[in-house]
Amino acid sequence: MPRDGAYRSVGEGKDSVQVHLRADQEALAADLVARYGDLVSITVGAYPYPLPSPGSITTPDLCTWSVPMGAEVVGGLRATPRASGSVRSGHDGRGTVTVTNTSGVTVSFSAGTPYAAVLLKSGTDAVVGVYDSEIAGVGSGATLRSGEHLTVDMLIGTASCNTAAGYAVAPGTYDVIVVLNDIQIGSTAALQRLRSAAGIRHDHFVTAHTAIRGALQATVECRHRLQPHRSVSRPSARGAVYRA
């Protein structure tokens, strides 16, 4: 039985055992179905296995959220993602996001940690890959004065949101974004006074789920490559690039 994280989760369902496998585990899924038939309900990455007919495929919740228009600096916060190690299609990448307050005022924000980054088709806001497993994280955030920064762990998933590409994203280069929640500009006391005096509720907030598109592209290589290989980083026009 695979022991390298192939199983995301196993649990009891109403009429079957629910098994969630990593996005590169189609062979294991086929073996389980052959052995146990309808006694198991299997998900590979973000989609059920086997896939329903094209006309009846429902887009998973993981892939349906709308990516807000992103920028490298939002509300005075700059996000700088950095990858660590290598990633293969179907596996998970790791890295960090450093959030820096580049404004002249205090900025507060809250978010879970680690961040789950999203892969986008390069140059667009089309979601093509997501992190599909549970995150054993805690709430995180900070109040950053001008010039201060906070570094948070990041997970990069490669479960495909496009069934034509398979369960795992196809090899290629993708944009990476992270999403910060509940960004608050200025001091809480000042905002409370403003709201009390003028009835302002939202004008001094960046809306929740604001995408900050850092200067990073993820290069995903073939999931079937078996030989270990060294990660290579080099500068590019859009920032750091890492290879599987």
Mean pLDDT in order along the chain per 10 residues (244 residues): 70 86 93 94 93 80 68 68 74 84 80 78 84 75 85 88 88 77 52 40 32 46 33 27 29
Please give the Cα distance from 20 to 18 (Å, whole number): 7
Please give the Cα distance from 184 to 33 (Å, whole number): 49
pLDDT at residue 185, as a whole number: 53
3-state helix vs strand vs coil in the chain, percent to 5: 15, 45, 45
Question: Beta strand pairing status for 115-121 and 149-156?
Answer: parallel
- Per-residue b or e along 133-171, where b marks 16 or more CB atoms closer than 10 Å to that residue's CB: beeeeeeebbebeeeeebebebbbbbbbbbeeebbbbbb
Phi, psi (5° rounding) for residue 160?
-75, 145
Helix (H, G, I), strand (E, B) or coil at 30: helix
Please give the Cα distance from 137 to 99 (Å, whole number): 18
pLDDT at residue 106, as a whole number: 82
Query: Which residues is 159 bridged to in the sheet?
Result: 130, 168
Nearest alpha-carbon partner for 103 in 80, 78, 68: 78
Domain ranges of the chain: 7-52, 73-242
Query: Which residues is 48 bridged to in the sheet?
Result: 43
Contact 142, 212 (CB under 8 A): no
Phi, psi (5° rounding) for residue 136?
-90, 75
Q: What is the pTM of this model?
A: 0.70
pLDDT at residue 85, as a whole number: 59
CATH number of 73-242: 2.60.40.10
pLDDT at residue 67, as a whole number: 62
